[in-house]
Amino acid sequence: MPFVPHIDSQVRRMLDVIGAASVDELFADIHPELRPKSFDLPSGKSEMAVMAQMEALSRKNDTHLVSFLGAGFYDHHIPSAIDALCSRGEFYTAYTPYQPEASQGTLQAIFEFQTAIARLLGLPCVNAGVYDGGSALFEAAMMAVRHTKRRKMVICGAVNPIYRVMFSSYTSNLNLDLVTVPARDGATDFKALTAALDENTAAVLVQNPNFFGFIEDYTALFATAKAKGAVSIVSVYPVLQALLKTPGEMGADICVAEGQSLGLPLSFGGPYLGLMACTKGMIRQLPGRIVGRTVDRLGRPGFVLTLQAREQHIRRQKATSNICSNQALCALRALMYLCLVGERGLKRTAGLCLEQAHKAAARLTAIPGVKLMQDKPFGNEFALTLPQSAYGVIDRLTARGYVPGFPLGRYYPGLESGLLVACTEKTTDENIGIMAEMLKGSLA
């Protein structure tokens, strides 16, 4: 029997005002299975009582865990100046700068953001950002489809599986041929990827460092893709780009990245920032906002939106994207982070991340039964093979205040004993030592 809420006088008055005869009629457009199961709500409380209850609930969250989690999202130090500056009203409340005469500050900030990302990734053209790294990968693939008029996507199995799940969801109703080439013990299978490229391939999608942390050079693969008329797309980790060979140097046509590591807190999964950069030949396919520098009729410098191919500006079916917005405040935070740490600071941060990861790998692989998945160069993240299921190890160590990493078996069947461990500049030698002793004891 359906739940029939008690209708008090206030609800009755509301229904009269909106012209609904009953609560059932109010919810008529919602499928019965999706309707509220109960209207048994607590009575109103004072602000003080509500705050006390919310604080009691928040204390149930353990916010003091030492974490070695990564998998595409990383706990980096964020300079205090970023929060102070971003909290200013002129930044915090600014929205899309459709009127350049009233939005020069926001437009300049986006332009400077584009410039910084172009220098970091070694590609000349950058947009104002999209939702996140996964959305950016999908947008890059759609750029390739429009550019080549082809439908086949060759995807490396070492690309972040979270992104690949998103990619499959976004493309589920599109006529695309998705070919995933499995990784070999966490490493890119270059021979198989190259063999999968043909005259029907729109793009090849890879990642550096890949999901397992391995650093790889795709220069030869991208050259082969270019010879086949396919677009080369690489997803990267922005912090490590301070030290690694850039996508531009490898010959990539499009580079995407998750910008969370550039001054954005983890925040339970967002809001984040998708970075997109490309060659000049691909710029007309680039989604979202692009800010350009110009001069007015008196020769004074100014900034405007250019190449506006969003659905707000042209016919929807001709737009480069209908889902390409981003929170420009996230892009501003990334710009502030890059400006505050500078080139030397970013290189030092990346170096510390690598240094701590290699310390951790050496310490952990000294434990009997624990070994690296492969002896290949890695960045701030590495894949371990444990002598037992990683899930049990993670449960036991997390209960003691240490999250040892990400279980690879979650996305890679057969790798249930695989553990992905990440370090950042915030990972101390003491953290590494304690985790190693706890892991040794857990395995014993």
- What digits encode the pLDDT tens for the residues 397-435? 999 999 999 999 999 999 999 999 999 999 999 999 999
Q: Are 143 and 27 members of one domain?
A: no
**pLDDT attached to residue 2:** 46
Q: What is the total count of domains within the chain?
A: 3
Q: Is residue 32 part of a domain?
A: yes
Domain membership of residue 147 (yes or no) is yes
Residues 316 and 352 both lie in one domain = no
Q: Is 342 left (phi over 0), alpha (psi -120 to 50) or beta?
A: left
Looking at the fold, whether 19 and 105 belong to one and the same domain comes out as no
pLDDT over 90 (residue 195): yes
* Alpha helix segments (H runs only) across 122-211: 133-148, 161-170, 190-196
On the question of pLDDT at 311 being above 80, the answer is no
Residue-wise pLDDT for 5-32, tens only, equals 555 677 888 899 999 988 888 889 999 8
* CA 70/CA 352 separation, integer angstroms: 16
Q: Are 203 and 231 in contact (CB under 8 A)?
A: yes
Range of the domain at 380: 66-75+342-443
Q: Does residue 4 form part of some domain?
A: no
Q: Same domain, yes or no, for 266 and 297? A: yes
Residue 180 within a domain? yes
**Farthest-apart Cα atoms in the chain, separation:** 76
Is the pTM here over 0.95, yes or no?
no
- Same domain assignment for residues 314 and 213: yes
Domain boundary among 282, 302, 337: 337
Q: Are 216 and 188 in contact (CB under 8 A)?
A: yes
Residue with tokens 């005002």, as numbered in its chain: 17
Same domain for 328 and 363? no
CATH value at residue 417: 3.90.1150.10
Question: pLDDT tens, 134-154?
Answer: 999 999 999 999 999 999 999
By the 10 Å C-beta count (0-12 exposed, 13-18 middle, 19+ buried), 245 is classed as: middle
Q: Are residues 161 and 216 in the same domain?
A: yes
Residue 101 lies in a domain: yes
Q: Are residues 429 and 306 in the same domain?
A: no
Query: Looking at the domain assignment, is residue 56 inside a domain?
Result: no
Of the CA atoms within 13 Å of residue 375, those in its CB half-sphere come to 2
Stated as kind and residue range, the H or E segment containing 155 is strand 152-156
Q: Sign of torsion, CA 5 6 7 9?
A: negative
Identity of residue 116: A
Quick one: 209 and 267 in the same domain?
Answer: yes
Residue 203 located in a structural domain = yes
